[in-house]
Structure 1
Amino acid sequence: MLATGAIVAVNGLNPFSLVAIVVSGVLAFSLRVALGIAPKLKPSSKNQTQEPVIETIPVPGEFKIYRQAELNRTTASLLADGAILIAGEDGSGKSVLAIAVVEKLQADGFMVAFIEPATPKQMLLEIAHQFDIPTENLEGKLLTADKLKTAIATFLEENTAFLIIDDAHCCDAKFRMWLKQLRRSNVPMLLLATDPPRTDIFINIPRIELKPLPEYAIREIMIIAAAQRAIALKPSELAKLQERAGGNPMLAARAVDEEYLGLDVEGADHRRYFDITPLILLAGIAFVIMRFIGLGTGDQALYIFGGIAAAVFLGLSRLLYNLPPEDRRIR
């Protein structure tokens, strides 16, 4: 016998329980979707196959440029008869970037001389050799340094060619002054240096400060280095090594070498700094709270100490905030 408003049990559950279960399931599914853990749906047809997602892993020995923006900016500046200075700490990838610039310019048919630091005479001879400039006179004697400078300057005025000097900060001061004279004639050149001083040629041309590489790039470099040494590194080990690299690609490869050799290294040589201004602000706030505690409890010494310490810490944080960034400071 059915009565109006009667609750009918279905499989031992009343309709309100069924509604509660359905609502709970919908909410749970929505939560999983929002968190990105919703189950993947299978293909509706048995003939359709779902392609597995394969993560791209760097190939050992494959050349990859992680500073494409700097590469494009540098090449564009050189093609506009400009000069540019790339500065960064040792191992930050300056030479790798320079090689990429050389390859790009040579692929476009331009003449490029890529020089490393040596004695002024040796560097002049190397520039002449790479540009196919005669280094001997009619009698078969080597040209003097002054005559080599004149021959190279004449060649650069008559031809479209580029000078790229690696570790320019190690070059002799007289050689850098000669580069400054070439720059007055609008000779395009690229200089790479570590902590270049604000003198001679370095103060005349714009600079690009190489920032630390992002974490994904450092991880890829470490994966490649580990694959070349036939070692397997766990994600936790990679994360630990990344802390030692600090965004420096050379230090990243060295960290893998040290791990391969079983060396226990605590610190690192990178110069990646951390901003402690928020910690100073928290300390200042703590001293302000201490001042109010002293005021509420009637402790005059705590009140005075908290006020002075808060003023010092807050003033120090303001001073650090107003300091110019590292790449804008005069060395």
Structure 2
Amino acid sequence: MVATGAFIAINGFNPFSLLALGISGALALFPKLTSLNRESGVKSQDSALTTEDIPAPGAFRIYRQAELNRTTASLLANGAILIAGEDGSGKSVLANAVVEKLQGDGFMVAFIEPATPKQMLLEIAHQFDIPTEDLEGKSLTADKLKRAIATFLEENTAFLILDDAHACDAKFRMWLKQLRRSGVPMLLLATDPPRTDIFINIPRIELKPLPEYAIREIMVQAAIERGINLKPSDLAKLQERAGGNPMLAIRAVDEEYLGLEVESGDHRRYFDITPLILLAGIAFVIMRFIGLGTSDQALYIFGGIAAAIFLGLSRLLYNLPRESQRIR
């Protein structure tokens, strides 16, 4: 009797209205579940985060220990490595940690940043104590500096580390490629490196966004250094603007310190809408079965066409290159 009443009630509704009601209820429930999970995660992080976990003002902490160990091991194995990541993701911090670790083990390291090719060659020569003048006291040309540096690297165990390598001159990167063919260990750090010259020849590590606890610690440390007190709710709001980027986390605290109202950050970490896409596909399939059960031919055909289009588009998006937005 109950089943009969339910069947009559369903038949009393327009199938489109019933489908719209179900979808709207699911969409209304989804954000609530997401917010509950987010709040529970924030609460668990707040309870786990103690004063002892937060670095003291001015203290230094490496949150990418796995990447540091992997990079150092690769360099010590006479290899080369490329670390790619968005601006502010911590590439330079990681590079400084690698330099400190190698120098602490007694190795010679040249850490340079983008400049003109001649200036970079001179900087490498100075850090390796390579003479930059000939016997007559004249400055060496760029070609002679390259030969002198290459000879030094062949005779000694030394490491080259180049920050922001994507901003260097293409000819300089080709010279690095020649050094790499000679077995010179080097570490390159770049933002969206192109698929050319040295960048396509060496293995790559892509820096992922830092976990939420790390971003929270960075913000708390920055707030302490600036003498401001941030509530857990303020930290949660600022953390959304950082998006796992440590530089943006510090900038968000600076903006809060200056009283600036900023709605969003510049990070590349976006909300995952995969559940919503799957929900739309399920809705099209349900629409087709409703049309079949109610003998509504128009609804049945519409649901079938919509489901076919959805499956085709989802398959097309799935087969797109995953790194098309990472490396150009």
TM-score bin (small chain): 0.7 to 0.9
Matched residues in 1 for 2:150 and 2:303: separation? Answer: 68
The answer on 1:176 being equivalent to 2:153 is no
What is the SS of the residue equivalent to 1:96? helix
Query: What is the deviation of 1:314?
Result: 2.6
Matched residues in 2 for 1:72 and 1:57: separation? Answer: 23
Match of 2:95 in 1: 98
Q: Percent identity?
A: 89
Out of 82, 87, 103, the residue aligned to residue 84 of structure 2 is 87
Equivalent positions of 1:70-219 (< 5 A) are: 70-219=67-216
The answer on 1:294 being equivalent to 2:291 is yes
What is the SS of the residue equivalent to 1:226? helix
Residues 116 and 123 in structure 1, CA contact (< 8 A), matched pair in contact too: yes
Q: 1:102 to 1:145 in 2, by over 3 A?
A: same
Matched residues in 2 for 1:182 and 1:164: separation? Answer: 13
Code of the residue aligned with 1:167 in structure 2: it is D
Q: 1:330 to 1:109 in 2, by over 3 A?
A: closer
Which of the two has higher C-alpha Rg? 1
Query: What is the deviation of 1:126?
Result: 0.4
What is the SS of the residue equivalent to 1:325? coil
Matched residues in 1 for 2:79 and 2:169: separation? Answer: 22
Out of 66, 70, 73, the residue aligned to residue 63 of structure 2 is 66
Match of 1:41 in 2: none
Code of the residue aligned with 1:309 in structure 2: it is A
Query: What is the deviation of 1:96?
Result: 0.2
TM-score when normalising by structure 1:
0.81
Unaligned runs of 5+ in 1: 1-52
Match of 2:255 in 1: 258
Query: What is the deviation of 1:191?
Result: 0.3
For CA contacts below 8 A with separation 6 or more, give which structure has more relative contact order.
2
Q: 1:70 to 1:197 in 2, by over 3 A?
A: same
Match of 1:308 in 2: 305
The answer on 1:220 being equivalent to 2:217 is yes
Matched residues in 1 for 2:52 and 2:117: separation? Answer: 50
Q: 1:223 to 1:270 in 2, by over 3 A?
A: same
Out of 225, 238, 241, the residue aligned to residue 241 of structure 1 is 238
The answer on 1:56 being equivalent to 2:53 is yes
Could you list the per-position Cα deviations for residues 143-195 of structure 1 after superposition, in whole angstroms to 9, with x for gaps in the alignment? Answer: 10000001100111111110000000000000000000101110010000001
Match of 1:40 in 2: none
Q: 1:54 to 1:97 in 2, by over 3 A?
A: closer
What is the SS of the residue equivalent to 1:287? helix
Residues 192 and 327 in structure 2, CA contact (< 8 A), matched pair in contact too: no
Q: Identify the structure with the greater helix proportion.
A: 2
Query: What is the deviation of 1:329?
Result: 6.5
Match of 1:32 in 2: none
Unaligned runs of 5+ in 2: 1-49
Matched residues in 2 for 1:103 and 1:327: separation? Answer: 34
Query: What is the deviation of 1:259?
Result: 0.8
Matched residues in 2 for 1:326 and 1:234: separation? Answer: 38
Query: What is the deviation of 1:288?
Result: 1.5
Matched residues in 2 for 1:311 and 1:77: separation? Answer: 48
Match of 1:23 in 2: none
Query: What is the deviation of 1:277?
Result: 2.6
Matched residues in 2 for 1:113 and 1:82: separation? Answer: 16
Q: 1:141 to 1:55 in 2, by over 3 A?
A: closer
What is the SS of the residue equivalent to 2:111? strand
Residues 281 and 317 in structure 1, CA contact (< 8 A), matched pair in contact too: no
Match of 1:34 in 2: none
CA RMSD of aligned residues (A): 1.7
Q: 1:171 to 1:54 in 2, by over 3 A?
A: closer
Could you list the per-position Cα deviations for residues 279-315 of structure 1 after superposition, in whole angstroms to 9, with x for gaps in the alignment? Answer: 2111011111122223333433222222111222233
Query: What is the deviation of 1:322?
Result: 4.0
Match of 1:38 in 2: none
What is the SS of the residue equivalent to 1:191? strand
The answer on 1:230 being equivalent to 2:219 is no
Match of 1:29 in 2: none
Residues 112 and 124 in structure 2, CA contact (< 8 A), matched pair in contact too: yes
